[in-house]
Each structure stands twice: as C-alpha cells, then as structure tokens.
C-alpha cells in the first residue's frame, strides 16, 4: 500500500509560513527525535532565508540516546542551525530553549523588542505541548491526532519571547515510502490514510533488524519468529488480540503493537539514523513484504 497524505489545509499552511517567516528572528522546527529526517519538512530550508534555526528534537525521552547524539552532531554541521534534544513536557528542559533563542538573536529580547520566534513542524510532533509548557498554561490545543492547529497563533510569553504557532506541515509528496511508513509508525499520519496492518508489519520488520533484544524482553520471547508477519501474530497473542477460536486478529495486533511503540513501552528506540543508505531502506521494505 502506498501512503499518500497531504490535506488541503496544509497547502494553505505553506503559504502562511512563507509570508510569516519574513518578520521572524529565530525559527524553531520541532522534530520527532525518533525520526528527525522524516519528521522534517525539507521545504523549510528553502523558506527560512538563512534565519537562525533550532532543530528541537522532541520526545527525546522515547528515542535511542546514542542515535540522538549522532543526529545533534549531524544537524549542527548546517549553517545557522543548532540542535536541542528535549521533552516538551519538561519545563526545566524548555527553559534551555528560551536561552538559546536569545543567544541566536542578541540584539533583541529587550523591552519592546522581543525575540520573534516561529514554531513549525509536522503534525503530532509536540508543537502545542511545547507552547503550553513555555506559556505555563494551556493556550494551544493538544491532541493525539495530527492536524490540531489550523491557523497561526501569536503568543507573548512575557519573558522577551514573542511566539508564533503555525499549522502542522507535511511534505507535499510522499515519494519516500520508507519515510512515509516511519511517519505512520510514529503516529504523525492520520489513521484514515494508512493500513494499520501494513504499518505494523513494517514496524515489526524494523524492530527485528534494529532492536531484537527489546522485542524479546518486552514480549518474553526466547527467540524471534522468522519474519515480521509471524512477529505480529506472536505479539497479538501476547496482548490478547484474539477472536473466536483463539485466532489472532492481525489488524488489532498491529494497532496494539504500534501503540506500544509510540508510548515507549518497548523501550527507547529511534526509527532512523543519519545518512542511512538507500539500499538498507529498500531491503527493509522488501523484508516487510511491502511494495516500495
């Protein structure tokens, strides 16, 4: 199954961001620390006009720490780019973001001259959670479904920072099916655009290749089954996803497995690493039994 998802309101979001960015001092791009490449909209590089950019690696508490360290080193090779791993729910970590914004715009952050920042990112990476933590109260809508924010919001944080929230923005095309499946695995793509069974099998294939020991520990397995389809069956039995006759409901099993991955119950994992070769990606799709 080919994943295609680009709601009409995201075209409008692209226009809004392009216009707004002209009067912004610092761009905050919120990424999912588990898949920083796939959760980045590469059009932003064309739009930011050399403005300082903070790559905020959110959900750092769910990601593989060694892989995140590699991503920080990778991003900070870019001109005007700083990378900051954190959890948007933790105020102590969010305060470091405020300090960094002021460092990147040293001529602002004074009375009457706030640092004008803009938060951008694809749906469900934690933009609204970040804003609410920064503000110390609930301002932006938060949900576990993508595309909650539909129009830009201007928020004065009262600490020398003026914040603009923007609608979630995805790539306009999904030619990279590996990236699309990783986004679906993380929960960034709406449920109506994907087949849970296929995505669950893709995620199972990845975990078998990259984190086999975590699978064994979580599901009390001495050995892993032969392939991802069989793994979903095993997980389905473990999680009680059964129908009449003790048969595994594969759809329910795949959905339950994805929920476990997203909640960090299987362990701290990253779905991609810097400079992953294309042939590794293709092999993973073949192993999953999914046409690329």
Q: Which of 138, 33, 51 is nearest to 87 (CA)?
A: 33
Q: Could you tell me if 105 and 52 are in contact, meaning their C-beta atoms sit under 8 angstroms apart?
A: yes
CATH class of segment(s) 195-288: mainly alpha
Between β-strands 161-165 and 247-248, what pairing exists: parallel, antiparallel or unpaired? unpaired
Phi then psi dihedrals of residue 53, to 5 deg:
-130, 130
Say how far residue 198 (Cα) sits from the centre of its chain: 19
In this predicted structure, which of 152-156, 188-192, 214-218, 232-236 has the lowest mean pLDDT? 188-192
Q: What is the CATH number of domain 8-165?
A: 3.40.50.300
User: Which segments of the chain belong to CATH 3.40.50.300?
Assistant: 8-165
User: Which segments of the chain belong to CATH 1.10.1580.10?
Assistant: 195-288
Q: Name the packing angle between helices 250-262 and 196-210 (round to 10°).
A: 60
Each residue's pLDDT tens digit, 221-280: 999 999 999 999 999 999 999 998 899 999 999 999 999 999 999 999 999 998 764 555
What six digits make up the tokens of 203? Answer: 């995620």
Cα-only R_g, the chain: 20
Residue 46 has pLDDT above 60, yes or no: yes
Q: What is the pTM of this model?
A: 0.83
């Amino acid at each position: 199954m080919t994943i295609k998802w680009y709601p009409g309101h995201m075209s409008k979001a692209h226009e809004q961001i392009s216009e707004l960015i002209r009067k912004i001092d610092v761009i905050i791009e919120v990424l999912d620390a588990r898949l920083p490449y796939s959760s980045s909209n590469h059009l932003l590089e064309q739009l930011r006009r050399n403005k300082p950019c903070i790559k905020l690696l959110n959900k750092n508490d769910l990601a593989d720490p060694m892989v995140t360290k590699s991503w920080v080193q990778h991003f900070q090779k870019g001109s005007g780019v700083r990378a900051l791993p954190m959890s948007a729910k933790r105020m102590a970590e969010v305060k470091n973001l405020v300090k960094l914004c002021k460092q990147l715009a040293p001529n602002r952050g004074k009375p009457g001259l706030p640092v004008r920042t803009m938060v951008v990112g694809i749906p469900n990476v934690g933009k609204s959670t970040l804003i609410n933590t920064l503000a110390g109260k609930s301002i932006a809508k938060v949900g576990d479904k993508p595309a909650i924010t539909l129009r830009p919001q201007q928020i004065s944080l009262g600490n020398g920072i003026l914040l603009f929230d923007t609608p979630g923005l995805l790539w306009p095309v999904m030619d990279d099916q590996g990236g699309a499946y990783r986004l679906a695995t993380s929960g960034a793509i709406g449920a109506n655009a994907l087949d849970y069974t296929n995505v669950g099998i893709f995620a199972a294939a990845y975990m078998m290749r990259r984190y086999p020991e975590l699978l064994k520990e979580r599901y009390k397995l001495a050995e892993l089954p032969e392939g991802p389809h069989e793994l979903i069956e095993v997980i389905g039995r473990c999680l009680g996803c059964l129908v009449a006759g003790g048969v595994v409901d594969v759809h329910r099993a795949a959905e339950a497995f994805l929920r476990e991955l997203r909640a960090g119950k299987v362990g701290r994992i990253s779905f991609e690493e810097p400079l992953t070769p294309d042939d590794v990606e293709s092999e993973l799709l073949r192993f999953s039994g999914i046409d690329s």
